[in-house]
């Protein structure tokens, strides 16, 4: 299982990230102090570090310089939004730089991109009795293969990777349809209905009023 270390001095942010990444199938640990982060990095192995810059003890810049020889990918997550801050963070070796406040869906997408870059992806995703082998592009429910269209498969991955998170319709269109996005189309609703039926998720894939949809698992 992919292991991610979350370093942020705000416990609420640590808990939010931990909850959503854990729901997406990652194993997470959180710390709120720079020195504690360094101690943990020396004792345990991590595949990715989500790192705030302004921390008590050692700050994010100190930490990334210290761990550079370990070649652990780092994504800075910080309130420091000026271009000079982004440039400094990237020049120090961060793989990405995300400014607070951020969208959880965007965070998960950036995590996946960085992990793919380092060939540390999870090939099997699970939601209840549903298993998805992303390498084989195979979907199974209770051991039975489920045949999905390309768009249905794209929606399935988004919902599983964001379990219990309300996803905006615009986000679903953008991620699955891309340039084909049509704001007033019923295409999304029809695809969600078919996905519900195929996966047996009539009680799990729910509509969220004026937002979109959420997979409740």
Residue 28 domain boundaries: 3-117
Residue 10, pLDDT above cutoff 70: yes
Last residue of a domain, one of 100, 117, 134: 117
User: Is the torsion defined by CA of 147, 150, 154, 155 positive or negative?
Assistant: negative
Q: Whole-number mean pLDDT of the chain?
A: 89
- Of 171, 13, 207, 17, nearest to 108 (Cα)? 17
CATH of the domain at 154: 1.10.10.10
Spell 160-182 as b/e; 16+ CB within 10 A means b.
Answer: bbbbebbbebebbbebbbeeebe
Residue 154, pLDDT above cutoff 60: yes
Running DSSP on this structure, what letter comes out for residue 56?
A: S
Q: What is the mean pLDDT of residues 61-77?
A: 92
CATH of the domain at 36: 3.40.50.2300
Whole-angstrom CA distances from 8 to 3, 67, 77, 98, 172 are 16, 17, 8, 13, 29
Domain check: are 140 and 94 in the same one? no
Domain check: are 158 and 79 in the same one? no
Span 72-121, pLDDT tens digits: 999 999 888 888 888 998 999 999 999 998 888 889 989 989 998 887 76
Domain check: are 90 and 8 in the same one? yes
Domain check: are 50 and 129 in the same one? no
Q: Which residue intervals of the chain are DSSP H helices?
A: 11-23, 34-43, 60-67, 83-91, 104-117, 150-161, 169-176, 187-199
Lowest mean pLDDT among 47-51, 149-153, 169-173: 169-173
Q: What is the mean pLDDT of residues 188-217?
A: 94
Pair 102, 77: CB distance under 8 Å:
yes
Give the total number of structural domains in the chain.
2
Q: What is the mean pLDDT of residues 3-21?
A: 93
Last residue of a domain, one of 117, 151, 179: 117
């Amino acid at each position: 299982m992919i292991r991610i270390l979350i370093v942020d001095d705000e416990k609420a942010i640590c808990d939010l990230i931990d909850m959503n990444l854990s729901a997406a199938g990652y194993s997470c640990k959180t710390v709120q102090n720079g020195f504690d982060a360094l101690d943990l990095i020396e004792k345990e192995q991590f595949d990715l570090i989500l790192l705030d810059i302004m921390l008590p003890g050692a700050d994010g810049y100190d930490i990334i310089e210290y761990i550079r020889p370990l070649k652990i990918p780092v994504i800075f997550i910080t309130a420091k939004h000026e271009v000079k801050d982004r440039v400094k963070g990237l020049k120090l070796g961060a793989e990405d730089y995300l400014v607070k406040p951020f969208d959880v869906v965007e965070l998960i997408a950036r995590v996946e991109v960085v992990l793919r870059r380092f060939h540390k992806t999870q090939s099997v995703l699970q939601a209840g009795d549903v298993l998805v082998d992303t390498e084989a592009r195979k979907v199974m429910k209770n051991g039975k293969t489920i045949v999905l269209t390309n768009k249905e498969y794209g929606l399935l991955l988004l919902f599983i990777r964001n379990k219990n998170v309300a996803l905006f319709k615009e986000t679903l269109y953008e991620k699955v349809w891309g340039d084909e996005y049509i704001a007033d189309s019923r295409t999304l609703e029809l695809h969600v209905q078919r996905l519900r039926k195929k996966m047996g998720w009539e009680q799990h894939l729910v509509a969220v009023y004026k937002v979109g949809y959420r997979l409740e698992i």
